[in-house]
Structure 1
Amino acid sequence: MKTKTLLCMGLLTGATAFAQTNVKDSLRVYNLEEVEIVSTRANKKTPVAFTDISKEELLKQNTGKDIPFLLSTSPSILTTSDAGAGIGYTKIRIRGTDATRINVTTNGIPMNDAESHELYWVNTPDLVSSLEDIQVQRGAGTSTNGAGAFGGTINMRTQASSPHKYAEVSGGYGSFNTHKETFRLGTGLIKDKWAFDARLSNIKSDGYRDRASSDLKSYFLQGGYFGTLTTVKFITFGGKEKTYHAWDGVSQEQLKKNRRYNPNGEIKNDAGDVIGFYKNQVDLYTQKNYQLLLNQYLSPNWSLNVGLHYTNGSGHYEEYKNKRTLIQYGLKPYIVNGKEIEKEDLVRRKFVDSGFGGGIFSLDYKGDRLQASLGGGMNYYKNNHFGKVIWIKNYIGDLDPDHQYYDNIGRKTDGNIYARANYDIVGGLSIYGDAQFRHIRYKLNGVDDEWDWTANPAGLQAFDLDKKFNFFNPKVGLSWQINPYHQAYASFSIAQKEPSRGNYTDALFSKQPDSEKLFDYELGYNYANERFSANVNLYYMDYKDQLVLNGRVNEIGSPISENVKHSYRMGIETALAVQIADWLKWDINGTWSKNRIKNYEAYFSDENYEQHAIQWGNSPIAFSPSFMGNSIISADFLGVNIAFQSQFTTRQYLDNLGLKENSLDPYFVSHLHASYKFNIPYTKGLTLGASVYNLFNTKYETNGYAQNSISTDGKTLSFDPRFYAMAGTNFMINARIAF
């Protein structure tokens, strides 16, 4: 750290005087350069697979759906929605890799939760309305801040400040009583130096599935100072969400009866029959993000980016639980009519209260043949987890309305430093090198919500965990610009990732999980001219000690993820774009892949909770289809914009067994978007649009989970999977007027 600080100070001192006389004349009078740790992004010379999605592309689809669904037509991406309509709790996969292995940043600042390793998009609703663009990197990608990218990176950049004042009002209404309202405004440049922007958004939906409602509110504010050599921005954005649980899937039989059924919130009688639903089975969470960003030009070749950030998140979810054992909640059994009641219905709340803050930096050099960066960051995270029982049916005895039954604290320190360079050797050939060192320390102390019957005396599961990790992640590659139309590249990367909180809390008592390691090989070719472009990328992702659910449970019955020694993903990604006419374009992409665990050992539990291990051999990795593809035909003629999107995905397995009984059927689904812009005096235009999702009313599911068992003699397997249904044909109309 001392060396890093001295280097930055020396460069600042030695270069500033030179910069004053040489940089000033080379910059525009109104320097609206956006502040971001730009070195974390890939460019044309970076030998990795990536896709850029522009502000204009995002705007065309921005009708209220979460960001994962706006990225769903990019190569190798699949999305899921608990509520079935793309609003609320949604998730994304890249090359079959789940959200805990996808590193998400905004302006270079990490967004993933430091414990779960996942970004919950529902906590930042309508952030897309304040984005300039998004870059999706597939594979290990470039070194970046935050959790290790173990299959993909999503790099978001907030909107640029406009030199001109503006105002915009937009709204929409559609199926499932979905509506969205957004108001944006900006001051433009004030006294040639200052600019301010703001947004307020409201999104509500009843959801496709029963009671799967969402009530989402969000804001975005930024103020910037734009000097000749210095740009400073303060940005804050946040959201408040209230969603009814749609976290549980339904059986195949239930899908046939009622695809919209949602089992969450069920209230059952003593016979186990459903007699109603709990009205307040909801998740409430508020998140506020703060960023202070600096860009300093030091000379024509050197620039420095620095960012400070803090994120506060707090909330709880409430749920009705049928026939729960009271002692597990720190409550005593009670007597009714001479009978001791040990189990009863209750309502509980589980709380989190987290803070995440730190700083990042990037020192960048751009010369004629060399582009280099030195960057890194240091972040600290703390999260309080605790639970309360707020009501018990027919309870006799004293019940504190805030009866707390578990409490634990997670703390994490995460620091990294990286150096990256791209050097033009000769004739369009350049070499790329990237090396990152990352240090993590994770501590977990207190008692969790799981009851440990094996303890003496029995009680809630206790933790006193202190784990440290040191990772070195090198990357190297070549890029060859053969001529203005042809480019080829190749790269090799190593990425490493620590276990998540859940990997520890649900692990075997006698064995903690190890970190995971990825060796990523990429080979690509690009061709582009005025009318046609094509990309082909081959990848081989070789995993060591990847953590997977294998059906095994720990000593108290919680399903666990265990390290598997060898697994891999290999495939070929293709993308084509044809400008058929000036007004007509066709984009198509597809990914063919093979995803396997070598020598997989699966576990099954019988009715006596005894576990049986079966050597399954080489097996497909869950949620990793052998093919996924997208097609977008778009027309833009005389102010009318029309886009016809289609997506096809082959069978996905819910676990690693590769059995049809536990799988999602292949599906082909299409959407249609249309809009027209009216030129109205005294405005920048009125745009009216309509979207029809699932145009052909396809019945399909994009997510689910397996529930397997085995007979006591170990001979007969049984399967009872659960599924999340997606909405049939539905629509959204919208209007946007700008001033």
Structure 2
Amino acid sequence: MKKQCLFVSFLVLSLCATAQEKPQDSTKIETLDEVLLSSTRAKDKTPVAFTNITKEELESSNLGQDLPILLDQLPSVVTTSDAGSGVGYTGIRVRGTDATRVNVTINGIPYNDSESQGTFWVNMPDFVSSVEDIQLQRGVGTSSNGSGAFGASLNLKTLNPSTEGYANTTNTVGSYGTRKHNLSVGSGIKNNFYAEARLSKIQSDGYIDRAASDLKSFYTEAGYITDKTQIKALVFGGDQQTYQSWNGAPEAVVNGDLEGIQTFIDRNYSSDAEADNLLNAGRTYNSYTYDNQTDNYKQTHYQLHGTHQFSSRFSANLSGNFTKGAGYFEQFKDNEELGDYFPGNSNVSEEGDVIRRRWLDNDFTAIVYSLNYKRDQLNLYLGGGYNTYKGDHYGEIIWDSFASEVPIRNKYYTSVGEKKDYSTYLKAEYDLTSKLFAFADVQYRAVHYNSTGLSSDLEPIDVEKDYSFFNPKLGLSYKIDNYNSVYGSFAVANREPNRDDLTKNPVTPKAERLNDFEFGFKHRTSAFSATANLYYMSYKDQLVLTGDLDNAGDAIRENVADSYRAGIELQLGYKASDKLRIDANATFSKNKIDTFHYTVYDTQYDPNTFNTVSYSPVVTEYKDTDISFSPEIIAGGTVTYSLLEDLNLSFISKYVGKQYLDNTSSASKSIDAYFVNNINASYKIHPNWIKEVSFNLLVNNIFNSEYVSNGYTYSYFYRPENSGDEAITENFYYPQATTNFLLGMTLKF
């Protein structure tokens, strides 16, 4: 850490020594700020599928919901919320791939968790209020920093420095006790220096029972900027407490099927309290009832960026990052065996209730760089980064009812995961003619991961793996005329397994490989735009859920040799008049696995003691089967009408086709297609005493649809006395909120 501090200090001093001139206008500031991300972002001529979204486009709907929900209208995107209302734990899938396969960077710094490779936006609530713009690249896209992109890359850039001082505050109220309050201030640029800050608080009771969220966040930035140089230091983070709603609701509960609920109670031997909850909660059911069944996590990011324009041809950026995270989730568990926590105790079969906490204390350090050389028709980038991660995992009991003495707050398991990630890329963009543009990109990435200790189920973890990947990309775009262009590209991506894959699988999994073919057409006039993008994503050794379980009952993934995603993405935008605009997108796809082996356990019980007397897997082979959570149709549309100059009304629609919960293409294990409609209204006034007052109203699900957006499933054979030979399937779903609203007011000084 000392070496890193010396490094960034040297960066500051060296760049300050080159800074001389004061910026003259905001255009120069924005141009210099773009150098920070120019090496990883797609541009208009880049032959990949991407969408840009600006802070102005997000402003009217940024009323407290998490980032994934705000991106719901982008092509090929499906979002979900555990709490049902978009606040708390939320998720995003792009082209059917989950968040662990979406590479996320903030100012070029990797954000994905190094071990799980997922992203947890609940840890950075209201971060969108400090974002200038977002780019979503679909498919492999261009080389970036961090984990491999297997479905998309999501690139966030924080706010450009404001040339003038400002103060803004937004206050939101809404359904389910949702509140958002923030305050943002900025100094403007004074003698080449500037500073900005934001404080935010979001609270919500959630649509699902007890799925409450209490979220706090902050953002600070200070910098020095001239025509040729920018140095900026950022510190931002979040502190979240959410009541767990991770388990979803059984299918019979969601459907209001009383007979099915009673059958579920009988075969799961539910307690009286559990049965009462199942029978009476309705579709907002939450299995957790312990008062402090919460997830608690705090994360702080420290970033330092230096950018310098050495000449009209050469510019460079160097960035450093340190992220500190720590937190736990607390659980009440009844009828636990002492041996599950302290196997060395002489009374291992003794039963009792416990309250436990499972902790993660992690550090992430990153250094990224990019060099840009421009000459005539050539634009050349050299970039990359080096990341290190250390995560301490441990558990403790904070209360128990065992008759034997138990060491309270002693760690009953510990493990350490460490990861090192190095990558470098070289990109070339070249205008072969006035109409033909070529793009080439090669990346080398090396990963080392090791983990030692005990897992949460007290199984030994001893993993040490090294991976090295070569990821080439090549594409062409051709300008047919001033209104039409075509492009095509081929890209390769490789991705290492995550922590659970390496520590839980009975067979060590292989790294995944993706060959991505993209071909597109763009048409653009002043009033009308349309794009069509064909893609074929061919996977080798893709990791998928098999139905197999580890010895703790958790689902595991295994490689499937061959699978693919193929589809077409359509977008259009039409400005019918100064008052009316229509935007729409649709994705039609096929997502298939060539050969898939599905595992169901055959479990037989002693009907008197409920102890397992036999335990064996039943494996079924499926051919040409659908990949789970990959709808064949995803469509969205927005119609915006300006009633007055500063009064806009938008009607927003989203359709998501049928999704399978596993890879068996079974209709009995699926999520029904859903069609949801929202209304967004915004009104701005400019009185003499303030710069702007704006009112924003978001009414979600205006037709009160009862739908679910996510779920999971597992099957098993259940054979107590007099039961049949058919496998039992348990489906669990995450119901989303019926009609609800958010109303916000923003004051800009």
TM over 0.5: yes
Residue aligning to 2:334: 322
In structure 2, do the counterparts of structure 1 residues 583 and 323 end up closer, same or farther at CA, with 3 Å as the change threshold? same
Residue aligning to 1:660: 667
Contact 2:172/2:180 (CA < 8 Å) preserved in 1? yes
SS in 2 for 1:253: helix
Residue aligning to 2:607: none
Query: What is the alpha-carbon root mean square deviation over aligned residues?
Result: 2.6
Q: Which amino acid in structure 2 is aligned with residue 719 of structure 1?
A: T
> Cα distance, 1:684 vs. partner?
1.0
**For the residues of structure 1 that align with 2:105 and 2:555, how far apart are their CA atoms?**
30
> Cα distance, 1:257 vs. partner?
3.4
Q: Is residue 2:350 matched to residue 1:342?
A: yes
Residue aligning to 2:198: 199
Q: Is residue 2:453 matched to residue 1:446?
A: yes
Contact 2:22/2:226 (CA < 8 Å) preserved in 1? no
How do 1:139-538 and structure 2 match up within 5 A? 139-191=139-191, 193-257=192-256, 273=275, 277-330=289-342, 342-393=350-401, 395-450=402-457, 460-508=458-506, 511-538=507-534
In structure 2, do the counterparts of structure 1 residues 29 and 388 end up closer, same or farther at CA, with 3 Å as the change threshold? closer
Q: Which amino acid in structure 2 is aligned with residue 171 of structure 1?
A: N
> Cα distance, 1:661 vs. partner?
0.8
Contact 1:492/1:521 (CA < 8 Å) preserved in 2? yes
Residue aligning to 1:8: none
Q: Which amino acid in structure 1 is aligned with residue 695 of structure 2?
A: L
Count of residue pairs the alignment pairs up: 702
How do 1:89-100 and structure 2 match up within 5 A? 89-100=89-100
User: Could you list the per-position Cα deviations for residues 297-330 of structure 1 after superposition, in whole angstroms to 9, with x for gaps in the alignment?
Assistant: 1110110011000101000000111212210101
**For the residues of structure 1 that align with 2:716 and 2:349, how far apart are their CA atoms?**
30
Q: Which amino acid in structure 2 is aligned with residue 169 of structure 1?
A: T
Residue 634 of structure 1 is aligned with which of 640, 648, 653?
A: 640
Residue 682 of structure 1 is aligned with which of 689, 696, 711?
A: 689
Q: Which amino acid in structure 1 is aligned with residue 503 of structure 2?
A: T
> Cα distance, 1:403 vs. partner?
2.6
Residue aligning to 1:455: none
> Cα distance, 1:558 vs. partner?
3.9
User: Could you list the per-position Cα deviations for residues 316-367 of structure 1 after superposition, in whole angstroms to 9, with x for gaps in the alignment?
Assistant: 00011121221010167798xxxx9622221110000000002000001223
Q: Which amino acid in structure 2 is aligned with residue 622 of structure 1?
A: S
> Cα distance, 1:714 vs. partner?
11
**For the residues of structure 2 that align with 1:173 and 1:267, how far apart are their CA atoms?**
42
How do 1:54-73 and structure 2 match up within 5 A? 54-73=54-73
> Cα distance, 1:24 vs. partner?
10
Residue aligning to 2:609: none
Residue aligning to 2:677: 670
Residue 616 of structure 1 is aligned with which of 618, 622, 626?
A: 622
In structure 2, do the counterparts of structure 1 residues 26 and 194 end up closer, same or farther at CA, with 3 Å as the change threshold? closer
Same amino acid, percent of matched pairs: 40
Contact 2:339/2:349 (CA < 8 Å) preserved in 1? no
**For the residues of structure 1 that align with 2:67 and 2:275, how far apart are their CA atoms?**
39
Residue 648 of structure 1 is aligned with which of 646, 651, 655?
A: 655
In structure 2, do the counterparts of structure 1 residues 715 and 540 end up closer, same or farther at CA, with 3 Å as the change threshold? farther
> Cα distance, 1:234 vs. partner?
0.2
Q: What 5-or-longer segments of structure 1 have no aligned partner? A: 1-14, 451-459
**Most deviating of 215-224 and 475-484:** 475-484
How do 1:19-34 and structure 2 match up within 5 A? 31=29, 33-34=32-33
Q: Is residue 2:734 matched to residue 1:724?
A: yes
**For the residues of structure 1 that align with 2:724 and 2:625, how far apart are their CA atoms?**
20
> Cα distance, 1:449 vs. partner?
1.1
Contact 1:590/1:629 (CA < 8 Å) preserved in 2? yes
> Cα distance, 1:178 vs. partner?
0.3
Contact 1:24/1:229 (CA < 8 Å) preserved in 2? no
Q: Which amino acid in structure 1 is aligned with residue 662 of structure 2?
A: D
Residue aligning to 1:79: 79
Contact 1:348/1:388 (CA < 8 Å) preserved in 2? yes
Residue aligning to 1:453: none
Contact 2:23/2:29 (CA < 8 Å) preserved in 1? no
Contact 2:26/2:163 (CA < 8 Å) preserved in 1? no
Residue aligning to 1:563: 559
User: Could you list the per-position Cα deviations for residues 155-174 of structure 1 after superposition, in whole angstroms to 9, with x for gaps in the alignment?
Assistant: 00000110100000110100
SS in 2 for 1:661: coil
> Cα distance, 1:529 vs. partner?
0.1
User: Could you list the per-position Cα deviations for residues 234-267 of structure 1 after superposition, in whole angstroms to 9, with x for gaps in the alignment?
Assistant: 01110000000000011121113399x9x9xx99
**Most deviating of 685-694 and 108-117:** 685-694
In structure 2, do the counterparts of structure 1 residues 611 and 64 end up closer, same or farther at CA, with 3 Å as the change threshold? same
In structure 2, do the counterparts of structure 1 residues 399 and 571 end up closer, same or farther at CA, with 3 Å as the change threshold? same
**For the residues of structure 2 that align with 1:186 and 1:718, how far apart are their CA atoms?**
59
> Cα distance, 1:580 vs. partner?
0.8
Contact 1:27/1:228 (CA < 8 Å) preserved in 2? no
**For the residues of structure 2 that align with 1:267 and 1:716, how far apart are their CA atoms?**
19
SS in 1 for 2:576: strand
In structure 2, do the counterparts of structure 1 residues 403 and 194 end up closer, same or farther at CA, with 3 Å as the change threshold? same
Residue aligning to 1:4: none
**For the residues of structure 2 that align with 1:529 and 1:714, how far apart are their CA atoms?**
65
In structure 2, do the counterparts of structure 1 residues 158 and 714 end up closer, same or farther at CA, with 3 Å as the change threshold? farther
SS in 2 for 1:721: strand
Residue aligning to 2:12: none
In structure 2, do the counterparts of structure 1 residues 181 and 629 end up closer, same or farther at CA, with 3 Å as the change threshold? same
> Cα distance, 1:602 vs. partner?
1.1
**For the residues of structure 2 that align with 1:233 and 1:240, how far apart are their CA atoms?**
24
> Cα distance, 1:557 vs. partner?
4.6
> Cα distance, 1:273 vs. partner?
4.9
> Cα distance, 1:701 vs. partner?
0.2
Residue aligning to 1:549: 545
Contact 1:16/1:299 (CA < 8 Å) preserved in 2? no
SS in 2 for 1:642: strand
Residue aligning to 1:738: 748
**For the residues of structure 2 that align with 1:181 and 1:506, how far apart are their CA atoms?**
42
SS in 1 for 2:615: coil
Q: TM-score, normalised by structure 1?
A: 0.91
Q: TM-score, normalised by structure 2?
A: 0.90
SS in 2 for 1:40: coil
SS in 1 for 2:129: helix
Q: Which amino acid in structure 1 is aligned with residue 92 of structure 2?
A: I
**Most deviating of 276-285 and 621-630:** 276-285
Q: Which amino acid in structure 1 is aligned with residue 117 of structure 2?
A: H
Contact 1:333/1:341 (CA < 8 Å) preserved in 2? no
Contact 1:547/1:563 (CA < 8 Å) preserved in 2? yes
**For the residues of structure 1 that align with 2:502 and 2:508, how far apart are their CA atoms?**
7
SS in 1 for 2:39: helix
**For the residues of structure 2 that align with 1:576 and 1:627, how far apart are their CA atoms?**
16
Contact 1:334/1:342 (CA < 8 Å) preserved in 2? no
